[in-house]
């Protein structure tokens, strides 16, 4: 298997959704007084990337096997799965091997972290690993199928927000400091916004195969308003976090610049027609742009605070 093929299988461009909370949790732990450890950071990053890679691959596998990706006529670069198995069914055994190997890599990184973190944090570390591993497979896989039973949005927010930020803080021998607690929702809300726009685009395929996300249950109009609410909560979370981090907290406000530039256009776009596939594809691309710029500026803001305080 070539490197390019491997990167396509794990959907590498989407791994930024786990890198951001891992970096954020690490920097927040340092702000809370933890001593930054490079080995700990490398291990928790490997853990996070392994779990996210497994999630991406399992989602492709089971959404295809259960029919959702096969019937999706509106697949884009931002939603609808990779389509790898649809185009090449013989790749399925390789996909299973990659998913399982990713979980094993994450397991080994978690085990190695035990030698670097305080024993009192071991239970929390393993709870977060096993819960993440559970989500990675059973977000789509039977018999649980969280995303098919209306729990997909909650699990995505929880995995890419509170769980990811917390495990990064734990890796630096920190945990429930007010700074960490105040930031827990942030990155999960940003990742959830991508899911919601994707659901609006995939609603026809999801409904036909029983994948009951918010859009399939409530329709695109209500999902659009939920999406606006999620983005508003994210902006409010950043403002409150900046207030919580009294010293140099203003640096976090730069992460809202993408919202000032692009969000009004996105609101106008979705409001014009939240059912048109062409509009939804453009909205999906614009939303991912906001997500990536926000994530990068959020990390830069935290890093500036660490350097300035």
The answer for residues whose C-beta is within 8 angstroms of residue 203's C-beta and 6 or more apart is 215, 216, 219, 220
| CA-to-CA dists, residue 202 to 169, 184, 257, 279, angstroms | 35, 28, 29, 13
Query: What is residue 32's DSSP assignment?
Result: T
Contacts (Cβ under 8 Å, ≥6 apart) of 83: 69, 75
Give percent of the chain with pLDDT exceeding 70: 99
Q: How far apart are the first and last CA of the chain?
A: 47
Handedness of CA 269, 218, 16, 172 (dihedral sign): positive
| C-alpha span between 156 and 57 (Å, rounded) | 15
> With contact defined as beta carbons under 8 Å apart, do 41 and 164 qualify?
no
pLDDT, tens digit (0-9, with 9 covering 90-100), for 26-40 = 999 999 988 999 999
Main-chain phi, psi angles of 218, to 5 degrees = -105, -15
Mean pLDDT of the 262-289 span: 94
Give per-residue pLDDT as tens, 183-230.
999 999 999 999 999 999 988 888 888 888 999 999 999 999 999 999
DSSP state of 34: P
Q: In the predicted model, what is the mean pLDDT of the chain?
A: 93
Q: Looking at residues 249-262, what average pLDDT do you find?
A: 94
Domain limits of the chain? 3-308
Q: Which tokens is 192 given? A: 């959830």
Q: Please state, in angstroms and rounded to a whole number, the distance separating the CA atoms of residues 222 and 227.
A: 9
pLDDT tens for 111-154 read 999 999 999 999 999 999 999 999 999 999 999 999 999 899 99
**Per-residue pLDDT tens over the stretch 62-71:** 999 888 877 7
May I ask the CATH class of domain 3-308?
Answer: mainly alpha
3-state class of 73 per DSSP? Answer: coil
pLDDT in the model for residue 204: 87
Instruction: Assess whether pLDDT exceeds 90 at residue 244.
Output: no
Mean pLDDT over residues 277-293, rounded? 94
At 27 the pLDDT is: 96
Structure tokens at 253: 């406000």
141/189 Cα distance (integer angstroms): 23
Query: Is the per-residue pLDDT at 246 higher than 70?
Result: no
pTM of the model: 0.93
């Amino acid at each position: 298997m070539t490197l390019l093929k491997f990167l396509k299988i794990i959907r590498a461009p989407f791994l930024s959704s786990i890198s951001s909370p891992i970096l954020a949790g690490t920097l927040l732990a340092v702000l809370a007084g933890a001593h930054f450890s490079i080995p700990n950071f490398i291990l928790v990053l490997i853990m996070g990337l392994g779990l996210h890679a497994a999630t991406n691959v399992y989602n492709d596998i089971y959404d295809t096997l259960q029919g959702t990706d096969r019937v999706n006529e509106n697949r884009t670069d931002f939603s609808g799965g990779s389509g790898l198995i649809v185009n090449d069914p013989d790749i399925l055994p390789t996909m299973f091997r990659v998913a399982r190997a990713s979980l094993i890599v994450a397991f080994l990184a978690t085990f190695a972290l035990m030698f670097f973190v305080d024993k009192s944090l071991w239970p929390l570390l393993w709870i977060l690993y096993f819960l993440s591993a559970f989500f990675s497979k059973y977000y789509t896989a039977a018999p649980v199928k969280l995303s098919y039973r209306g729990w997909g949005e909650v699990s995505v927010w929880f995995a890419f927000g509170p769980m990811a930020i917390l495990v990064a803080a734990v890796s630096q021998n920190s945990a429930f400091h007010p700074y960490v607690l105040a930031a827990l929702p942030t990155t999960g809300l940003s990742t959830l916004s991508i899911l919601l726009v994707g659901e609006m685009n995939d609603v026809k395929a999801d409904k036909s195969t029983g994948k009951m996300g918010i859009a399939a249950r409530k329709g695109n109009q209500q999902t659009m308003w939920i999406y606006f609410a999620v983005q508003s909560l994210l902006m409010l979370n950043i403002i409150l976090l900046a207030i919580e981090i009294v010293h140099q907290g203003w640096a976090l406000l730069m992460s809202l610049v993408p919202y000032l530039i692009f969000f009004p256009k996105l609101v106008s776009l979705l409001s014009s027609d939240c059912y048109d596939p062409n509009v939804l594809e453009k909205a999906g691309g614009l939303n991912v742009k906001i997500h990536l710029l926000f994530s990068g500026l959020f990390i830069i803001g935290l890093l500036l605070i660490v350097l300035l305080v």
